[in-house]
Amino acid sequence: MGYNFHITRAPNFWESEEVPIGKEEWEQLADSTSDLVLAGHVEWTDIGSQRVYAVPGESANFSWRRGEVMIEGYFSDRAERVANQLAASLGGRVQGDDED
């Protein structure tokens, strides 16, 4: 199992549904951000198909799920910069699986 990062407004990412980032809000930001491209979709059994965005040339991908933006894949310096910019635009922060 890999180590993931999360963009959240909550004190802890697992509480993201309490202070959610809206799906439409996320998609509008992601669609308008030149550092991201639509890379496909992920199919969740509980919430259905969700868009997956990527930083071109990087393996990190970003997808919305239950009030947070999940970041999976290699978290390079460039992906971290993009994640921090997105988090700031959403009024949130980036948090790792270990709450860092």
In tens, the pLDDT along 57-82 reads 999 999 999 999 999 988 899 999 99
DSSP state for residue 12 in the 8-state scheme:
S
Judge whether residue 20 has pLDDT over 50.
Answer: yes
Q: Which residues touch 66 (CB under 8 Å, ≥6 apart)? A: 16, 17, 20, 47
* Of 9-18, 26-35, 43-52, 60-69, the least confident: 43-52
The pLDDT confidence band at residue 13, using thresholds 50, 70 and 90, is: very high
Residue span of the structural domain in which 86 resides: 5-96
In the predicted model, what is the mean pLDDT of residues 9-28?
A: 95
DSSP 92: -
- Residue 63 bridge partners (DSSP): 52, 70
Average confidence (pLDDT) over 46-62: 93
Domain tally for the chain? 1
